[in-house]
Amino acid sequence: LSDILIRFAEQIPYAFVVVYVMNTLNNSPITFSALTLIEMLTAMFIYIPVALLSEKVSSKMIVSITFFFFAIFPIVLGLSNSIGMLYVAFIIRGLKEFGEPTRKALIVRLSDPDIKASAYGTYYLIRDVVVSIAALSSAFLWNVSPYLNFGLASLFGFIGLFIFIRFGSDKRLRV
């Protein structure tokens, strides 16, 4: 459930990030491309350090940090009124990759050993079918207000984060 709510936080604003940056905030395609580059560079620079960190701390802490970045991005984006704030927003968007390898390993670790691959695939099928509903609703939210779109996305993200912190597994990964 927590992962589904986190994906709501990602998918509700997903299609509208470029629209918001370019049309609402009046930035150029080059500016949006530069912001995307910042996002990608941030993600690339954290993979190895976080992999090393995940060997020393609980998987729950790493995944919780990841979920926090998913939850906070839409709000920070919605509050961005300068290029500097957009840089911060897209660094946060890159940081959502913080614990993705750990999260995926956790899914595999919690699966039945005899059917890990099919359990992993089934998990993603079910999750993505449910999350696609949120993606469909995003246009309706956007038409009411971009800030409703971003705010509701973040709300889902923080609820997902709370559920994971309260009920998620707290063990170091040994996959």
Are the CB atoms for 164 and 5 separated by under 8 Å? no
How many domains are contained in the chain? Answer: 1
Are the CB atoms for 70 and 10 separated by under 8 Å? yes
- Report field, pTM of the whole predicted structure over 0.85: yes
For residue 174, being part of any structural domain is answered with no
Domain range spanning residue 11? Answer: 2-167
What is the structure's pLDDT at 98?
A: 85
As a whole number of angstroms, the distance between CA 50 and CA 52 comes to 5
For residue 65, being part of any structural domain is answered with yes
For residue 79, being part of any structural domain is answered with yes
* Closest by Cα among 163, 172, 168, 175 to 5: 163
Q: State the CB neighbour count (10 A cutoff) for residue 68.
A: 21
Inter-CA distances, 141 with 15, 74, 96, 107, 146, Å = 12, 13, 23, 31, 7
The predicted-structure confidence for 25-55, as pLDDT tens digits, reads as follows 999 999 999 999 999 999 999 988 888 888 8
For residue 162, being part of any structural domain is answered with yes
As a whole number of angstroms, the distance between CA 2 and CA 79 comes to 25
For residue 129, being part of any structural domain is answered with yes
For residue 107, being part of any structural domain is answered with yes
For residue 123, being part of any structural domain is answered with yes
For residue 157, being part of any structural domain is answered with yes
The predicted-structure confidence for 98-120, as pLDDT tens digits, reads as follows 888 777 777 788 788 888 888 88
Angle formed by the axes of helices 59-79 and 83-95, nearest 10°: 160
